[in-house]
């Protein structure tokens, strides 16, 4: 829980930053961060032990569930849109997000009760994914609605840092539990359920139910009076469309972390025991850089860090193509991947949030996240196919070329003027 303190940068105001930047991170953002932290512990606990549980606990082949996983990712994209839409209707962000958190928490009980029945397991995994899909956009909308636009980057940085802390602690907690209980997978599911439920309680008690706009209403989007129409309404804002296009373009050149780690493994012959810890290294970098990257985005505009972050990913691809080897390669790639997440994930929400009318914000963010996620799914599938047919190196070279092209296009497409810079 040390992050809750480092992640609350309200202690000394940064020198040279405007009066807005010196303000505290809103309590609601900290509360949502705490909810995400606890929820991520809960979900990453289960994710970390599922392969072991399938193969050794149940005698199932994980390959089957790998296929289902891909299917669920597609479903999640659609559910996310529905979640955003439902949240916007009558400003029910908290209730919709709460339903998502609760569904994911109860899916652990489903895993517990399913035993070896693969139908039950698939249903539980689907419920978890649906829950995750439902809650993401309303939660991010709540962050934008409770923070002043000029410090939104920092607010997202704090939230994502707390979120990542949970993702780091989850696997450690799960493996520790398996150790302590001599492989009682059910204990992992029960503890994950209790932790997930705590997240729901935190949300219910600490996050306000209604949001008043803290900032001047954006001018580019359509007025809130005409809010209740189609899912696609945010697309009427040209600036939002440009951001969506840029995010999708860059997403379509993102090959997915699993491949990056696989490539690292091939190059390095990492000590076998430590290989599963590679993602934790990148997550730790993300954790450390999320807040500074958010602050930077607030100061220089969010477009630049967002583009630079994808540049960092491009650099990681190129590094994997060079003859550099050993610890240097490992350290640099993990740093670059961590920096990529820190400068793009929350920053994208901070970039788009203020452009959306408050009453359409959850739908808009959902649309953006879905666009990016679908693009990344396609990219991962394409990269997988390229890997199969051409081998890893040509596939990676193609990915690097695609990323470079996407960066050039995105730089041209992304709106140059940012809304919060115009506001007094």
Please give the residues from 180 up to 199 whose contact with other proteins meets the rule CB under 8 A.
180-184, 186-187, 190-191, 194-195, 197-198
Least distance between other proteins and beta carbon 23 (Å): 11
Closer of 64 and 331 to other proteins (Cβ):
64
**Residue with token string 């003859």:** 323
Of 191, 100, 188, 186, the residue nearest 142 (C-alpha): 100
Kindly state whether residue 209 participates in binding other proteins, applying the rule CB under 8 A: no
Segment contacting other proteins by CB under 8 A, of 222-230, 254-262, 299-307, 326-334: 254-262
Sites for other proteins among residues 278-297 (CB under 8 A): 278-279
Euclidean distance between CA atoms 50 and 390, whole angstroms: 31
Closer of 264 and 350 to other proteins (Cβ):
264
Q: How many Cβ atoms sit within 10 Å of the Cβ of residue 219?
A: 12
Least distance between other proteins and beta carbon 127 (Å): 15
Kindly state whether residue 116 participates in binding other proteins, applying the rule CB under 8 A: yes
- Per-residue mark of binding to other proteins, 61-100 (x: CB under 8 A): xxxxxx--xx------------------------------
Kindly state whether residue 211 participates in binding other proteins, applying the rule CB under 8 A: no
Least distance between other proteins and beta carbon 247 (Å): 21
Sites for other proteins among residues 318-377 (CB under 8 A): none
Kindly state whether residue 401 participates in binding other proteins, applying the rule CB under 8 A: no
Kindly state whether residue 392 participates in binding other proteins, applying the rule CB under 8 A: yes
Least distance between other proteins and beta carbon 364 (Å): 26
Own/partner long-range contacts of 418-423 (Cβ < 8 Å, ≥24 apart): 418/301, 418/302, 418/303, 418/351, 418/354, 419/149, 419/218, 419/219, 419/220, 419/239, 419/354, 419/355, 420/149, 420/150, 420/152, 420/215, 420/354, 421/301, 423/149, 423/150, 423/215, 423/216
Sites for other proteins among residues 3-22 (CB under 8 A): 4
Torsion angle (degrees, nearest 10) of CA 357, 421, 343, 416: 90
Of these, 13, 17, 22, 58, which contacts other proteins (CB under 8 A)? 58
Count of residues engaged in binding other proteins, rule: CB under 8 A: 82
Burial of 221 (0-12, 13-18, 19+ CB in 10 A): buried
Closer of 306 and 317 to other proteins (Cβ):
317
Kindly state whether residue 44 participates in binding other proteins, applying the rule CB under 8 A: yes
170-185 burial code (b ≥16 CB/10 A, e <16):
bbebbbebbeeeeeeb
Of these, 39, 93, 387, 419, which contacts other proteins (CB under 8 A)? 387
Question: Is the CA virtual torsion 53, 56, 59, 65 positive or negative?
Answer: positive
Tokens of 303: 């477009």
């Amino acid at each position: 829980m040390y992050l809750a303190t480092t992640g609350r940068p309200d202690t000394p105001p940064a020198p040279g930053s405007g009066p807005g930047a010196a303000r505290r991170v809103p309590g609601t953002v900290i509360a949502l961060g705490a909810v995400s932290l606890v929820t991520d512990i809960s979900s990453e606990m289960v994710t970390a032990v599922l392969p072991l549980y399938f193969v050794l606990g149940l005698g199932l082949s994980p390959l089957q569930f790998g296929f289902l996983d891909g299917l669920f990712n597609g479903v999640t994209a659609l559910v996310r849109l529905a979640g955003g839409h439902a949240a916007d209707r009558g400003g029910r962000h908290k209730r919709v997000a709460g339903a998502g958190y609760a569904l994911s928490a109860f899916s652990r009980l489903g895993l517990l009760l399913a035993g070896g029945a693969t139908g039950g397991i698939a249903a539980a995994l689907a419920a978890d994914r649906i829950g995750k899909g439902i809650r993401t956009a309303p939660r991010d909308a709540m962050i934008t609605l409770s923070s002043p636009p000029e410090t939104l980057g920092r607010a997202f940085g704090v939230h994502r840092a707390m979120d990542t802390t949970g993702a780091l602690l989850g696997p450690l907690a799960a493996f520790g539990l398996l150790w302590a209980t001599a492989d009682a997978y059910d204990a992992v599911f029960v503890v994950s359920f209790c932790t997930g439920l705590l997240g729901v309680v935190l949300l219910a008690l600490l996050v306000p139910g209604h949001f008043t706009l803290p900032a001047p209403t954006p001018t580019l989007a359509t007025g809130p009076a005409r809010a209740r129409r189609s899912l696609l309404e945010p697309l009427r804002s040209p600036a939002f469309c440009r951001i969506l296009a840029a995010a999708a373009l860059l997403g379509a050149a993102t090959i997915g972390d699993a491949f990056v780690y696989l490539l690292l493994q091939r190059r390095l012959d990492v000590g076998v025991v430590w290989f599963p810890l590679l993602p934790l290294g990148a997550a730790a970098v993300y954790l450390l850089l999320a807040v500074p990257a958010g602050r930077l985005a607030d100061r220089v505009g969010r477009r630049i860090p967002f583009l630079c972050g994808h540049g960092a990913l491009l650099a990681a691809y190129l590094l994997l193509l060079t003859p550099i080897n050993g610890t240097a390669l490992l350290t640099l790639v993990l740093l670059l991947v961590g920096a990529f997440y820190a400068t793009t994930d929350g920053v994208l929400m901070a970039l788009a949030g203020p452009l959306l009318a408050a009453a359409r914000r959850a739908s808009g963010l959902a649309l953006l996240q879905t666009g990016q996620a679908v693009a990344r799914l396609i990219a991962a599938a394409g990269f997988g196919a390229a890997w199969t047919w051409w081998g890893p190196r040509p596939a990676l070279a193609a990915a690097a070329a695609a990323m470079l092209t996407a960066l050039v296009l995105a730089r041209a497409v992304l709106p140059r003027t940012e809304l919060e810079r115009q506001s007094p």
